[in-house]
Amino acid sequence: MTTRSETQTTLDHLLTEIEHRNPAQPEFHQAAHEVLETLAPVVAARPEYAEPGLIERLVEPERQVIFRVPWQDDQGRVRVNRGFRVEFNSALGPYKGGLRFHPSVNLGVIKFLGFEQIFKNALTGLGIGGGKGGSDFDPHGRSDAEVMRFCQSFMTELYRHIGEHTDVPAGDIGVGGREIGYLFGQYRRITNRWESGVLTGKGQGWGGSLIRPEATGYGNVLFAAAMMRERGEDLEGQTAVVSGSGNVAIYTIEKLTALGANAVTCSDSSGYVVDEKGIDLDLLKQIKEVERGRVDAYAERRGASARFVPGGRVWEVPADLALPSATQNELDENDAATLIRNGVKAVSEGANMPTTPEAVHLLQQAGVAFGPGKAANAGGVAVSALEMAQNHARTSWTAARVEEELADIMTSIHTTCHETAERYDAPGDYVTGANIAGFERVADAMLAQGVI
Protein backbone atom coordinates (compact mmCIF):
# COMPACT_ATOMS: atom_id res chain seq x y z
CA MET A 1 0.00 0.00 0.00
CA THR A 2 1.25 3.50 -0.82
CA THR A 3 2.06 5.56 2.26
CA ARG A 4 0.49 8.93 2.95
CA SER A 5 3.85 10.70 2.44
CA GLU A 6 4.39 8.98 -0.92
CA THR A 7 0.88 9.94 -1.98
CA GLN A 8 1.46 13.55 -0.93
CA THR A 9 4.66 13.64 -2.99
CA THR A 10 2.70 12.45 -6.03
CA LEU A 11 0.04 15.11 -5.42
CA ASP A 12 2.73 17.79 -5.04
CA HIS A 13 4.15 16.80 -8.42
CA LEU A 14 0.68 17.07 -9.91
CA LEU A 15 0.30 20.56 -8.45
CA THR A 16 3.55 21.59 -10.11
CA GLU A 17 2.25 20.21 -13.41
CA ILE A 18 -1.04 22.10 -12.98
CA GLU A 19 0.84 25.37 -12.56
CA HIS A 20 2.95 24.60 -15.63
CA ARG A 21 -0.02 23.63 -17.82
CA ASN A 22 -2.17 26.56 -16.65
CA PRO A 23 0.14 29.59 -16.52
CA ALA A 24 -1.03 32.96 -15.18
CA GLN A 25 -4.09 31.45 -13.45
CA PRO A 26 -3.32 32.05 -9.75
CA GLU A 27 -6.90 31.62 -8.56
CA PHE A 28 -7.15 28.20 -10.19
CA HIS A 29 -3.76 27.21 -8.78
CA GLN A 30 -4.95 28.26 -5.30
CA ALA A 31 -8.20 26.28 -5.58
CA ALA A 32 -6.42 23.16 -6.84
CA HIS A 33 -3.78 23.40 -4.11
CA GLU A 34 -6.42 23.84 -1.39
CA VAL A 35 -8.15 20.62 -2.44
CA LEU A 36 -5.19 18.44 -3.37
CA GLU A 37 -3.22 19.16 -0.21
CA THR A 38 -6.01 17.48 1.81
CA LEU A 39 -6.44 14.35 -0.33
CA ALA A 40 -3.34 12.34 0.66
CA PRO A 41 -5.03 10.34 3.42
CA VAL A 42 -8.02 9.27 1.31
CA VAL A 43 -5.88 8.35 -1.73
CA ALA A 44 -3.50 6.41 0.52
CA ALA A 45 -6.45 4.58 2.11
CA ARG A 46 -8.17 3.87 -1.23
CA PRO A 47 -5.46 3.18 -3.82
CA GLU A 48 -8.03 2.79 -6.61
CA TYR A 49 -8.23 6.60 -6.61
CA ALA A 50 -4.60 6.70 -7.73
CA GLU A 51 -5.35 4.41 -10.65
CA PRO A 52 -6.38 5.43 -14.16
CA GLY A 53 -5.30 9.07 -13.99
CA LEU A 54 -8.38 9.90 -11.94
CA ILE A 55 -7.06 13.01 -10.20
CA GLU A 56 -5.33 14.14 -13.39
CA ARG A 57 -8.72 13.97 -15.13
CA LEU A 58 -10.45 15.69 -12.23
CA VAL A 59 -8.27 18.81 -12.47
CA GLU A 60 -8.65 19.10 -16.25
CA PRO A 61 -11.99 20.57 -17.44
CA GLU A 62 -14.04 18.38 -19.72
CA ARG A 63 -14.66 21.41 -21.94
CA GLN A 64 -13.60 25.08 -22.05
CA VAL A 65 -15.45 27.53 -24.27
CA ILE A 66 -14.19 31.08 -24.95
CA PHE A 67 -16.08 33.36 -27.30
CA ARG A 68 -16.44 36.94 -28.54
CA VAL A 69 -19.42 38.98 -27.32
CA PRO A 70 -20.05 42.05 -29.54
CA TRP A 71 -22.81 44.48 -28.54
CA GLN A 72 -23.86 48.11 -29.08
CA ASP A 73 -24.03 50.71 -26.34
CA ASP A 74 -26.69 53.43 -26.21
CA GLN A 75 -24.50 55.75 -28.30
CA GLY A 76 -24.33 53.19 -31.09
CA ARG A 77 -20.69 52.32 -30.41
CA VAL A 78 -19.79 48.66 -30.88
CA ARG A 79 -18.23 47.10 -27.78
CA VAL A 80 -16.50 43.72 -27.58
CA ASN A 81 -16.23 41.56 -24.48
CA ARG A 82 -15.06 38.03 -23.90
CA GLY A 83 -17.37 35.21 -22.79
CA PHE A 84 -16.45 32.00 -20.98
CA ARG A 85 -18.04 28.70 -20.03
CA VAL A 86 -15.94 26.03 -18.34
CA GLU A 87 -17.74 22.70 -18.10
CA PHE A 88 -15.52 21.05 -15.53
CA ASN A 89 -17.02 17.72 -14.47
CA SER A 90 -20.32 15.97 -15.26
CA ALA A 91 -19.80 12.63 -13.47
CA LEU A 92 -22.69 13.31 -11.07
CA GLY A 93 -25.06 15.16 -13.39
CA PRO A 94 -25.35 18.10 -15.79
CA TYR A 95 -22.84 20.88 -15.30
CA LYS A 96 -24.24 23.41 -12.82
CA GLY A 97 -22.79 26.76 -11.85
CA GLY A 98 -23.33 30.48 -12.19
CA LEU A 99 -22.41 33.17 -14.68
CA ARG A 100 -20.32 36.09 -13.42
CA PHE A 101 -20.28 39.47 -15.20
CA HIS A 102 -17.40 41.52 -13.79
CA PRO A 103 -14.25 43.21 -15.18
CA SER A 104 -12.05 40.82 -13.17
CA VAL A 105 -13.35 37.75 -15.02
CA ASN A 106 -10.77 35.77 -16.96
CA LEU A 107 -10.21 32.09 -17.71
CA GLY A 108 -8.30 31.46 -14.47
CA VAL A 109 -11.09 32.94 -12.34
CA ILE A 110 -13.75 30.88 -14.15
CA LYS A 111 -11.68 27.70 -13.78
CA PHE A 112 -11.21 28.26 -10.05
CA LEU A 113 -14.95 28.80 -9.63
CA GLY A 114 -15.80 25.76 -11.75
CA PHE A 115 -13.35 23.54 -9.87
CA GLU A 116 -14.82 24.59 -6.52
CA GLN A 117 -18.28 23.96 -7.92
CA ILE A 118 -17.51 20.27 -8.53
CA PHE A 119 -17.11 19.57 -4.81
CA LYS A 120 -19.77 22.01 -3.64
CA ASN A 121 -22.37 20.41 -5.90
CA ALA A 122 -21.29 16.92 -4.88
CA LEU A 123 -21.82 17.81 -1.22
CA THR A 124 -25.47 18.69 -1.86
CA GLY A 125 -26.19 15.10 -2.91
CA LEU A 126 -28.52 16.39 -5.63
CA GLY A 127 -26.96 14.91 -8.78
CA ILE A 128 -25.34 17.94 -10.38
CA GLY A 129 -21.90 18.38 -11.91
CA GLY A 130 -19.60 21.38 -11.75
CA GLY A 131 -19.19 24.28 -14.17
CA LYS A 132 -18.94 28.06 -14.27
CA GLY A 133 -19.03 30.89 -16.79
CA GLY A 134 -19.23 34.60 -17.32
CA SER A 135 -17.72 37.61 -19.01
CA ASP A 136 -15.49 40.61 -18.34
CA PHE A 137 -18.54 42.80 -19.07
CA ASP A 138 -19.41 45.23 -16.27
CA PRO A 139 -23.19 45.81 -15.89
CA HIS A 140 -22.71 48.63 -13.38
CA GLY A 141 -23.61 51.98 -14.87
CA ARG A 142 -25.15 50.40 -17.95
CA SER A 143 -28.75 51.01 -18.94
CA ASP A 144 -31.28 48.18 -19.02
CA ALA A 145 -31.20 48.35 -22.82
CA GLU A 146 -27.41 47.96 -22.89
CA VAL A 147 -27.54 45.02 -20.47
CA MET A 148 -30.26 43.43 -22.60
CA ARG A 149 -28.23 43.76 -25.80
CA PHE A 150 -25.15 42.33 -24.10
CA CYS A 151 -27.08 39.38 -22.64
CA GLN A 152 -28.67 38.63 -25.99
CA SER A 153 -25.28 38.60 -27.72
CA PHE A 154 -23.79 36.46 -24.94
CA MET A 155 -26.59 33.90 -25.19
CA THR A 156 -26.40 33.82 -28.99
CA GLU A 157 -23.16 31.87 -28.59
CA LEU A 158 -23.74 30.22 -25.21
CA TYR A 159 -27.05 28.58 -26.18
CA ARG A 160 -25.33 25.91 -28.31
CA HIS A 161 -23.37 24.65 -25.29
CA ILE A 162 -26.12 24.43 -22.64
CA GLY A 163 -29.40 22.58 -21.99
CA GLU A 164 -31.37 21.22 -19.05
CA HIS A 165 -29.69 17.79 -19.40
CA THR A 166 -26.27 19.18 -20.36
CA ASP A 167 -25.33 22.41 -18.58
CA VAL A 168 -27.55 24.64 -16.43
CA PRO A 169 -26.15 28.11 -15.67
CA ALA A 170 -27.41 30.42 -12.94
CA GLY A 171 -26.48 33.86 -11.64
CA ASP A 172 -23.41 35.03 -9.76
CA ILE A 173 -21.76 38.44 -9.26
CA GLY A 174 -23.26 40.90 -11.75
CA VAL A 175 -25.94 38.46 -12.89
CA GLY A 176 -29.26 38.80 -11.10
CA GLY A 177 -32.89 38.43 -12.02
CA ARG A 178 -32.70 41.09 -14.74
CA GLU A 179 -29.82 39.40 -16.53
CA ILE A 180 -31.29 35.89 -16.16
CA GLY A 181 -34.51 37.17 -17.72
CA TYR A 182 -32.75 38.60 -20.77
CA LEU A 183 -30.62 35.47 -21.15
CA PHE A 184 -33.62 33.15 -20.93
CA GLY A 185 -35.62 35.24 -23.39
CA GLN A 186 -32.86 35.01 -25.99
CA TYR A 187 -32.44 31.26 -25.41
CA ARG A 188 -36.17 30.76 -25.95
CA ARG A 189 -36.09 32.96 -29.06
CA ILE A 190 -33.21 31.05 -30.66
CA THR A 191 -34.26 27.50 -29.77
CA ASN A 192 -38.04 27.88 -30.08
CA ARG A 193 -38.34 25.85 -26.86
CA TRP A 194 -39.77 26.65 -23.44
CA GLU A 195 -36.98 24.81 -21.64
CA SER A 196 -37.35 26.35 -18.21
CA GLY A 197 -34.77 24.03 -16.66
CA VAL A 198 -31.94 25.48 -18.77
CA LEU A 199 -31.33 28.40 -16.37
CA THR A 200 -31.98 28.83 -12.67
CA GLY A 201 -32.58 32.00 -10.71
CA LYS A 202 -35.56 32.80 -12.93
CA GLY A 203 -38.46 35.04 -11.99
CA GLN A 204 -41.04 33.35 -9.77
CA GLY A 205 -43.80 33.90 -12.32
CA TRP A 206 -42.02 31.99 -15.07
CA GLY A 207 -40.31 28.98 -13.58
CA GLY A 208 -38.26 30.37 -10.72
CA SER A 209 -38.24 29.00 -7.19
CA LEU A 210 -39.22 30.73 -4.00
CA ILE A 211 -36.27 31.21 -1.62
CA ARG A 212 -33.72 31.06 -4.50
CA PRO A 213 -32.60 34.70 -4.04
CA GLU A 214 -32.17 34.11 -0.31
CA ALA A 215 -30.68 30.63 -0.50
CA THR A 216 -26.91 31.28 -0.47
CA GLY A 217 -27.09 33.72 2.43
CA TYR A 218 -29.61 31.67 4.38
CA GLY A 219 -27.64 28.48 3.84
CA ASN A 220 -24.39 30.06 5.00
CA VAL A 221 -25.99 31.20 8.25
CA LEU A 222 -27.50 27.74 8.78
CA PHE A 223 -24.04 26.20 8.33
CA ALA A 224 -22.54 28.73 10.76
CA ALA A 225 -25.28 27.88 13.26
CA ALA A 226 -24.44 24.17 12.94
CA MET A 227 -20.75 24.89 13.60
CA MET A 228 -21.70 26.92 16.66
CA ARG A 229 -23.89 24.08 17.97
CA GLU A 230 -20.83 21.83 17.84
CA ARG A 231 -19.25 24.33 20.23
CA GLY A 232 -22.27 24.24 22.52
CA GLU A 233 -23.53 27.68 21.47
CA ASP A 234 -26.18 29.20 19.21
CA LEU A 235 -26.47 32.45 17.26
CA GLU A 236 -28.71 34.23 19.75
CA GLY A 237 -27.01 37.42 20.96
CA GLN A 238 -23.86 36.95 18.85
CA THR A 239 -22.38 39.91 17.00
CA ALA A 240 -21.58 39.29 13.32
CA VAL A 241 -19.56 41.11 10.68
CA VAL A 242 -20.62 40.57 7.06
CA SER A 243 -18.74 41.80 4.01
CA GLY A 244 -20.43 42.75 0.76
CA SER A 245 -23.84 44.26 0.08
CA GLY A 246 -25.09 42.15 -2.79
CA ASN A 247 -27.52 39.28 -2.79
CA VAL A 248 -25.46 36.95 -0.58
CA ALA A 249 -24.64 39.60 2.02
CA ILE A 250 -28.19 40.95 2.23
CA TYR A 251 -29.77 37.56 2.90
CA THR A 252 -26.95 36.54 5.22
CA ILE A 253 -27.82 39.59 7.30
CA GLU A 254 -31.53 38.76 7.07
CA LYS A 255 -31.08 35.20 8.36
CA LEU A 256 -28.64 36.25 11.09
CA THR A 257 -31.22 38.72 12.33
CA ALA A 258 -33.99 36.11 12.22
CA LEU A 259 -31.88 33.76 14.38
CA GLY A 260 -31.17 36.43 16.98
CA ALA A 261 -27.67 37.56 15.96
CA ASN A 262 -26.74 41.21 15.45
CA ALA A 263 -25.18 41.84 12.02
CA VAL A 264 -23.41 45.20 12.27
CA THR A 265 -21.57 45.66 8.94
CA CYS A 266 -21.91 45.65 5.17
CA SER A 267 -19.49 46.84 2.50
CA ASP A 268 -18.71 47.49 -1.14
CA SER A 269 -15.60 48.50 -3.06
CA SER A 270 -15.75 52.03 -1.60
CA GLY A 271 -15.51 50.97 2.04
CA TYR A 272 -17.75 49.64 4.78
CA VAL A 273 -20.57 50.68 7.09
CA VAL A 274 -20.76 49.74 10.76
CA ASP A 275 -24.15 50.15 12.43
CA GLU A 276 -24.19 49.62 16.19
CA LYS A 277 -27.95 48.99 16.20
CA GLY A 278 -27.63 46.33 13.51
CA ILE A 279 -28.03 46.74 9.77
CA ASP A 280 -31.45 48.08 8.73
CA LEU A 281 -32.35 45.60 5.99
CA ASP A 282 -35.13 47.64 4.44
CA LEU A 283 -32.82 50.61 3.99
CA LEU A 284 -29.97 48.46 2.65
CA LYS A 285 -32.27 46.73 0.15
CA GLN A 286 -33.64 50.08 -1.03
CA ILE A 287 -30.16 51.46 -1.65
CA LYS A 288 -28.57 48.37 -3.21
CA GLU A 289 -31.42 46.54 -4.94
CA VAL A 290 -33.65 49.45 -6.00
CA GLU A 291 -31.35 52.46 -6.34
CA ARG A 292 -28.18 50.45 -7.11
CA GLY A 293 -26.30 52.91 -4.91
CA ARG A 294 -23.23 52.74 -2.66
CA VAL A 295 -23.11 51.86 1.03
CA ASP A 296 -22.05 55.37 2.06
CA ALA A 297 -25.65 56.39 1.27
CA TYR A 298 -26.77 53.94 3.97
CA ALA A 299 -24.72 55.74 6.63
CA GLU A 300 -26.00 59.13 5.48
CA ARG A 301 -29.63 58.07 5.77
CA ARG A 302 -29.45 55.73 8.77
CA GLY A 303 -28.57 58.30 11.40
CA ALA A 304 -26.25 58.44 14.39
CA SER A 305 -25.90 54.67 14.89
CA ALA A 306 -24.10 54.17 11.58
CA ARG A 307 -20.81 55.40 10.18
CA PHE A 308 -19.07 54.88 6.86
CA VAL A 309 -15.37 53.96 6.78
CA PRO A 310 -13.96 54.73 3.33
CA GLY A 311 -11.51 52.13 2.06
CA GLY A 312 -11.72 50.19 5.33
CA ARG A 313 -12.15 46.48 5.98
CA VAL A 314 -15.05 45.07 7.97
CA TRP A 315 -12.71 42.66 9.74
CA GLU A 316 -11.52 45.58 11.89
CA VAL A 317 -14.87 45.50 13.73
CA PRO A 318 -14.91 43.22 16.83
CA ALA A 319 -17.37 40.34 16.43
CA ASP A 320 -18.19 36.76 17.43
CA LEU A 321 -18.86 35.66 13.86
CA ALA A 322 -17.41 36.68 10.49
CA LEU A 323 -19.16 35.88 7.22
CA PRO A 324 -17.17 36.99 4.15
CA SER A 325 -19.80 37.40 1.41
CA ALA A 326 -18.21 39.58 -1.28
CA THR A 327 -15.47 38.05 -3.45
CA GLN A 328 -12.36 35.86 -3.54
CA ASN A 329 -9.35 36.51 -1.29
CA GLU A 330 -10.98 39.39 0.57
CA LEU A 331 -9.91 38.14 4.03
CA ASP A 332 -6.15 37.84 4.35
CA GLU A 333 -3.71 36.80 7.06
CA ASN A 334 -3.65 40.25 8.68
CA ASP A 335 -7.45 40.32 8.76
CA ALA A 336 -7.50 36.85 10.33
CA ALA A 337 -5.07 37.98 13.02
CA THR A 338 -7.31 40.96 13.78
CA LEU A 339 -10.41 38.78 14.02
CA ILE A 340 -8.60 36.36 16.35
CA ARG A 341 -7.42 39.20 18.61
CA ASN A 342 -11.00 40.42 18.79
CA GLY A 343 -12.27 37.00 19.86
CA VAL A 344 -13.98 35.65 16.74
CA LYS A 345 -15.49 32.19 17.27
CA ALA A 346 -16.45 31.17 13.74
CA VAL A 347 -15.82 32.22 10.14
CA SER A 348 -18.21 30.96 7.47
CA GLU A 349 -17.66 31.69 3.78
CA GLY A 350 -20.64 33.08 1.89
CA ALA A 351 -18.52 34.00 -1.14
CA ASN A 352 -16.32 31.65 -3.18
CA MET A 353 -12.80 31.31 -1.72
CA PRO A 354 -12.92 34.69 0.09
CA THR A 355 -10.26 33.66 2.63
CA THR A 356 -6.61 33.31 1.64
CA PRO A 357 -4.83 30.01 2.48
CA GLU A 358 -2.62 31.79 5.03
CA ALA A 359 -5.69 33.22 6.75
CA VAL A 360 -7.42 29.84 6.82
CA HIS A 361 -4.37 28.24 8.43
CA LEU A 362 -4.14 30.98 11.06
CA LEU A 363 -7.84 30.72 11.94
CA GLN A 364 -7.67 26.94 12.26
CA GLN A 365 -4.53 27.14 14.40
CA ALA A 366 -6.37 29.50 16.74
CA GLY A 367 -9.26 27.07 17.13
CA VAL A 368 -11.75 29.18 15.18
CA ALA A 369 -14.50 27.13 13.51
CA PHE A 370 -14.00 27.64 9.78
CA GLY A 371 -16.68 26.80 7.20
CA PRO A 372 -15.23 26.66 3.65
CA GLY A 373 -17.36 28.03 0.84
CA LYS A 374 -17.79 24.71 -0.95
CA ALA A 375 -19.79 23.60 2.09
CA ALA A 376 -21.06 26.79 3.72
CA ASN A 377 -22.37 28.55 0.60
CA ALA A 378 -23.78 25.47 -1.12
CA GLY A 379 -27.33 26.57 -0.28
CA GLY A 380 -27.58 28.63 -3.46
CA VAL A 381 -26.81 25.81 -5.85
CA ALA A 382 -28.89 23.43 -3.73
CA VAL A 383 -32.02 25.52 -4.23
CA SER A 384 -31.07 25.91 -7.90
CA ALA A 385 -31.23 22.12 -8.13
CA LEU A 386 -34.59 22.21 -6.36
CA GLU A 387 -35.69 24.78 -8.96
CA MET A 388 -34.66 22.31 -11.67
CA ALA A 389 -36.75 19.62 -9.98
CA GLN A 390 -39.78 21.91 -9.92
CA ASN A 391 -39.23 22.77 -13.60
CA HIS A 392 -39.07 19.11 -14.59
CA ALA A 393 -42.39 18.49 -12.82
CA ARG A 394 -43.87 21.78 -14.09
CA THR A 395 -44.89 22.71 -10.58
CA SER A 396 -43.86 25.11 -7.84
CA TRP A 397 -43.32 24.54 -4.17
CA THR A 398 -44.25 26.74 -1.24
CA ALA A 399 -41.60 28.89 0.39
CA ALA A 400 -41.96 26.82 3.55
CA ARG A 401 -41.22 23.60 1.68
CA VAL A 402 -38.18 25.03 -0.09
CA GLU A 403 -36.79 26.50 3.12
CA GLU A 404 -37.32 23.20 4.93
CA GLU A 405 -35.48 21.35 2.14
CA LEU A 406 -32.66 23.92 2.31
CA ALA A 407 -32.32 23.50 6.08
CA ASP A 408 -32.17 19.71 5.72
CA ILE A 409 -29.52 19.96 2.98
CA MET A 410 -27.30 22.34 4.96
CA THR A 411 -27.59 20.17 8.07
CA SER A 412 -26.65 17.13 6.00
CA ILE A 413 -23.66 18.93 4.47
CA HIS A 414 -22.44 19.96 7.92
CA THR A 415 -22.83 16.43 9.25
CA THR A 416 -21.04 14.94 6.23
CA CYS A 417 -18.10 17.35 6.54
CA HIS A 418 -17.84 16.90 10.31
CA GLU A 419 -17.99 13.09 10.20
CA THR A 420 -15.60 12.82 7.23
CA ALA A 421 -13.03 14.99 9.00
CA GLU A 422 -13.22 12.75 12.06
CA ARG A 423 -12.98 9.61 9.89
CA TYR A 424 -9.67 10.91 8.50
CA ASP A 425 -8.22 11.98 11.86
CA ALA A 426 -8.86 15.70 11.39
CA PRO A 427 -11.65 16.43 13.91
CA GLY A 428 -13.20 19.87 13.53
CA ASP A 429 -11.42 20.52 10.21
CA TYR A 430 -14.30 21.37 7.89
CA VAL A 431 -11.93 22.13 5.00
CA THR A 432 -10.55 18.59 5.00
CA GLY A 433 -14.00 17.12 5.60
CA ALA A 434 -15.60 19.04 2.73
CA ASN A 435 -12.80 18.33 0.27
CA ILE A 436 -12.64 14.61 0.97
CA ALA A 437 -16.41 14.06 1.12
CA GLY A 438 -16.96 15.88 -2.16
CA PHE A 439 -13.99 14.15 -3.78
CA GLU A 440 -15.17 10.67 -2.76
CA ARG A 441 -18.59 11.17 -4.33
CA VAL A 442 -17.17 12.45 -7.61
CA ALA A 443 -14.29 9.96 -7.74
CA ASP A 444 -16.58 6.95 -7.19
CA ALA A 445 -18.79 8.08 -10.09
CA MET A 446 -15.78 8.67 -12.33
CA LEU A 447 -14.39 5.19 -11.58
CA ALA A 448 -17.76 3.59 -12.31
CA GLN A 449 -18.10 5.36 -15.65
CA GLY A 450 -14.66 4.46 -17.04
CA VAL A 451 -11.88 6.54 -18.52
CA ILE A 452 -13.73 9.29 -20.38
Domains, the chain, in order of start with CATH, read 4-59 (no CATH), 64-195 (3.40.50.10860), 215-376 (3.40.50.720)
In 78-235, at which residue ranges do the beta strands (DSSP E only) sit? Answer: 78-89, 95-101, 129-135, 167-171
What is the pLDDT at residue 5? 82
Taking alpha carbons only, the member of 78, 56, 64, 28 closest to residue 352 is 28
Beta carbons of 61 and 86 less than 8 angstroms apart:
yes
Q: Which residues contact 303 (CB under 8 A, 6 or more apart)?
A: none
Taking alpha carbons only, the member of 129, 35, 70, 41 closest to residue 442 is 129
Beta carbons of 441 and 92 less than 8 angstroms apart:
yes
Q: How far apart are CA 303 and CA 27, in angstroms?
A: 40
Bridge pairing between strands 129-135 and 78-89? antiparallel
Q: Is 132 a catalytic residue?
A: yes
One pLDDT digit (tens) per residue for the chain, 452 residues: 567 788 888 899 999 999 999 999 999 999 999 999 999 999 999 989 988 899 999 999 999 999 999 999 999 999 999 999 999 999 999 999 999 999 999 999 999 999 999 999 999 999 999 999 999 999 989 999 999 999 999 999 999 999 999 999 999 999 999 999 999 999 999 999 999 999 999 999 999 999 999 999 999 999 999 999 999 999 999 999 999 999 999 999 999 999 999 999 999 999 999 999 999 999 999 999 899 899 999 999 999 999 999 998 999 999 999 999 999 999 999 999 999 999 999 999 999 999 999 999 999 999 999 999 999 999 999 999 999 999 999 999 999 999 999 999 999 999 999 999 999 999 999 999 999 999 999 999 999 999 99
- Give alpha helix (H) positions in 129-233: 144-158, 177-191, 215-230
What is the pLDDT at residue 1? 56
What is the pLDDT at residue 8? 86
What is the phi/psi pair of residue 76, to 5°? Answer: 85, 5
Please report the sign of the dihedral spanned by the C-alpha atoms of residue 213, residue 217, residue 218, residue 220: positive
What is the phi/psi pair of residue 385, to 5°? Answer: -65, -35
Q: How far apart are CA 450 and CA 452, in angstroms?
A: 6
What is the pLDDT at residue 51? 80
What is the pLDDT at residue 176? 92
Beta carbons of 213 and 247 less than 8 angstroms apart:
yes
Rg (CA), the chain: 21
What is the pLDDT at residue 305? 96
- Determine the distance from the C-alpha atom of residue 261 to the mean position of all C-alpha atoms in its chain, rounded to a whole number: 23
| Ordered strands of the 167-171 beta sheet | 63-72, 78-89, 129-135, 95-101, 167-171
Mutual angle of helices 107-124 and 379-393, in 10-degree steps: 70
Bridge pairing between strands 95-101 and 129-135? parallel
Beta carbons of 349 and 217 less than 8 angstroms apart:
no
Helix-strand-coil split of the chain, %, nearest 5: 50, 15, 35
Number of H helices, E strands in the chain: 17, 13
Q: Which residues contact 288 (CB under 8 A, 6 or more apart)?
A: 245, 246, 250, 295
Residue/partner pairs of 70-79 with CB below 8 Å, 24 or more apart: 70/153, 71/146, 71/149, 71/150, 71/152, 71/153, 72/149, 73/142, 73/146, 74/143, 74/145, 74/146, 79/150
Q: How far apart are CA 172 and CA 249, in angstroms?
A: 13
What is the phi/psi pair of residue 97, to 5°? Answer: 170, 160
**Catalytic option among 120, 132, 255, 374:** 132
In 339-436, at which residue ranges do the beta strands (DSSP E only) sit? Answer: 346-348, 369-371
